Amino acid sequence: AVAPGIAIIITVLGFNLIGDGLNDILINRGNSNE
């Protein structure tokens, strides 16, 4: 029961990090385009 929980936590954290990275890239591109 512990392993699945850890896997879910890692997945959620991974998505959060990826989302932040995409947001930073999109924001940087938007500012550079302006």
Supply the mean pLDDT for the chain: 88
Provide the pLDDT for residue 34.
Answer: 54
> What secondary structure, in 3-state letters, does 1-34 show?
CHHHHHHHHHHHHHHHHHHHHHHHHHHHHHHHHC
13-28 pLDDT, tens per residue?
999 999 999 999 888 8
